Structure formats: structure tokens, C-alpha cells
Amino acid sequence: MAGYIYMHRKEKGEEVSGYVPWDDAKIHVLSHVIHYSSGVFEGIRGYLTRGGVAIFRGRDHYRRLVRSAKIYRMFPEHYAPRELRERGKVSQKDLVSHFMKLTKELIRKNDLCRKAKEVKDEGKMNNPFVYIRPVIYRGYDVKDDPILKPPLGVNPLGNPVEWFIATFLWDDYLGKEAIENGANVITSAWAKNSPSTTPFMAKGASNYATGQLAKMESVLSAFFKDYDVLERVKKGQPITKEDLFLAIESVQLTTSGYVAEGTGENIFVVMYENGDPGDPEDPKKVKIYTPPISASILPGITRDSIIRLAKDEGYEVIETMIPRELLYIADEVFFTGTAAEVTPISTVDGIPVGKGKPGRVTLHLRRLYTEIARGERPDKYGWVDFVEC
């Protein structure tokens, strides 16, 4: 397979770094991360533009990656490249710049601009974009006889800290239909871990264990659109896809039953003044709610972007605990995330949100977000890094 992944590893006690052919990018089966989820990662989006690839808030993502690693006691002096360590104490700024430099080169090396145009013209992808996946993890390395007491226990401190960066093409995460018509979602039976169990300010691999269960729960779920459909099923009569709400994502709750987030997205709830839609684009007639960090959520980069954009547009954004039932009576609900961008939610547990289609506030914020990310609107926030290719 064509393509490269940048890897920084330990082999027999020596550092090995460089661009590795895609099929040769491997780690040992006894790597600590495989057995104990001792890894942190990021998902970064690059938009295809006429001028190249617009990396959206790449530096903020890499800063969060470094902070996530720190929470798990993986410090820059453990994994920074030799040239940075030789300068003395490794600064976060230098490390982030190093990661960004490698990322831009990897995008060019994998020829993703040309390949994106190619797969779109051939109809293989609807909306191809560059996805960047950096991972810092605890690996495996032994200098002597590997059979004699290999470093494989819960204590990770004897394992080397390694990392890699992969870049590839991805399509709309929740699908074109969800973007255009809104996503059908369920509230999952799998709750988020409580704050005293796993650190949710870190984007750690272990945090997504329950997310996997919730995701599978959603994609295998469907709701009848009305009681008559259920009665027809009981009588053995045929039904069609149009009789069902087919869920594609879950909303996970906290252990106390409040709304937390999706399996890979943050969530927002829009309420109109006095329940009267009027002109919901009038910021004075709208309140936007989102769960706080204390609700066991990841402090999302896209979440932060939407909060800042909404406030700058004059909307009141309230970070507060949200009861599950508010999702049922909300005027609009939407997800945010690197892959999901701003995705409207049309039904929750088979109950239509508002009119059961994307709302005007959601679409307004989505438009602002995507225009900045794609370089179509002035970037007064300094969020975008361009890669010419």
C-alpha cells in the first residue's frame, strides 16, 4: 500500500525515527498500550481548499495531546526527539511546532491533495478531508533475552514512550444524510465513567471503551415512527426503512443521569425564548446549553470553537448540567467534533427534536465554522494553518 506514517520508537534501547512505509508501520504485540490502554491521541481535520490543506486548530490539538500525555506521566523528556532534548528543557511550544512540521510534510508526502480530488471525482467519497491521527503511547523494548521477564505489568513506567503520526483521507463521519437531514440518536444504557475513575480532560484511549459499546448499541438500534408500525409488525405485515428511525449515534449520560456527550462528539441544546421560534437567529431570543467539563466530557476543540463563535454572534451560551429529558423538548440539538464538525440531531430515542429537521441556529453556526475552517471567511482567531500542495 502506498503512503507513509511517521514513527518515533525505541528498538534495543536506541531511538528510531522517520517516515515508515504504510505496511511497515508496526508495533510489538507486547506493547503496553495494547494490554492496558496506556495511550493518548488526537483527531485533527484538514480541509481541502484551492490553496492546499487548511489544518483546523492543529496547534491546539497538539497542545492537548501533550497535556493528555502529561496526565498519564508521559513527559516530553521521555519522547521528544533528540534534537529538542539537546537544547535543554523541552518546551511545549517547540514540541507542538515540531509535530506541526512533521504533519505538513506527511500530508505532502502522502499526496493527499491529489488523492482527495481523485476519489471525489470517481465518486468513492462524498466529502473527502484530510484526517490527522497522532498517538503517544507506551510501547515495548528489551535489550536482552525477551523471554526473561519482559516489561508487561500494570506499572507502565518501565516501558518506552513512543509516538506516531498518520495522515489519510476520511469522509463525513456521521454520513451525508445526517448533515443534510439531522442524525437519529439514542440515549445509551452505557454511562460515562465518573470523574474519579478516568481523567476525561485527557483524550485517553481508555476513555473510549464504553464509547465503543454505546456506538454499537446505537447502530444496531431502530425506533418505530408510530404505534401503527408496531401493530403491523405484530401482525407479520411488512415494513420499510421509512417506517423507522435508524439510529447512528448514542448520547451517553453521566453516572448521575445527566447528559454528557456522544461517543466521539460534544453536544449542544438550543432553546428559543418562551418556546416561540419567532426568529431564532436573533441572539436575544435564543439560549444555548452545553454540559460542563465536570460532566465527564472531553474539552473538545470544536466545542470551544462553537462556544466562541456563538458568543461572538451574541448568543448566550450556558455551561450547565443537562437532564436527559431536555433533549426531547429542545428546539434544536447538535453534535460538535473534529470528524462530525457541527451535525444537527433530528430525533432522540425516536422523539423528534423541534420540527425533526436541522434548525436555523445550528445551520448558522455550522456555516460560520466551516467557512472559517475552509478559508472562505477571514480567520480572526488564528485557527488555520495552510499546507501548500
For the chain, the structural domain boundaries read: 4-170, 177-375
Pick the closest to residue 139 from 114, 173, 164 (CA basis): 164
Domain 4-170 and domain 177-375, same fold? Reply is no
The C-alpha cell that represents 379 in the structure block: 480567520
Taking only the tens place, the pLDDT of each residue in 281-307 is 678 899 999 999 999 999 999 999 999
Taking only the tens place, the pLDDT of each residue in 160-200 is 999 999 999 998 777 778 888 999 999 999 999 988 899 99
The C-alpha cell that represents 341 in the structure block: 464538525
Residue identified by cell 498500550 is 33
Residue identified by cell 514540541 is 95
Q: What is the dihedral of CA 144, 146, 148, 149, to 10 degrees?
A: 110
Range 97-101 average pLDDT:
97
Pick the closest to residue 154 from 32, 46, 244 (CA basis): 32
Taking only the tens place, the pLDDT of each residue in 42-75 is 999 999 998 899 999 999 999 999 999 999 999 9
Q: Is 203 among the residues known to form the active site? A: yes
Residues facing 133 on adjacent strands: 166
Which 3-state string (H, E, C) describes 228-256? HHHHHHHCCCCCCHHHEEECCEEEEECCC
The C-alpha cell that represents 161 in the structure block: 514512550
Helix, strand, or coil (residue 180): helix
Helix, strand, or coil (residue 76): helix
DSSP 14-73: EEEEEEEEGGG----TT-HHHHH--EEE--EEEEEETTEEEEESHHHHHHHHHHHHHHTT
- Per the prediction, the chain carries an average pLDDT of 93
- Res 303: pLDDT: 98
Residues facing 45 on adjacent strands: 131
Of the candidates 10, 104, 192, 203, the residue annotated as catalytic is 203
Residue 273 has pLDDT above 60, yes or no: yes
Q: What is the pTM of this model?
A: 0.93
Range 139-153 average pLDDT:
80
222-224 vs 244-246, strand pairing mode: antiparallel
Range 240-259 average pLDDT:
95
Helix, strand, or coil (residue 165): strand
The C-alpha cell that represents 40 in the structure block: 493518548
CATH superfamily of 177-375: D-amino Acid Aminotransferase, subunit A, domain 2 (3.20.10.10)
341-348 vs 332-337, strand pairing mode: antiparallel
- Tell me how crowded residue 27 is: count the other CB atoms within 10 A of its CB: 16
Looking at 3.30.450.40, 2.60.40.10, 3.30.470.10, 3.90.76.10, the CATH number of the domain 4-170 comes to 3.30.470.10
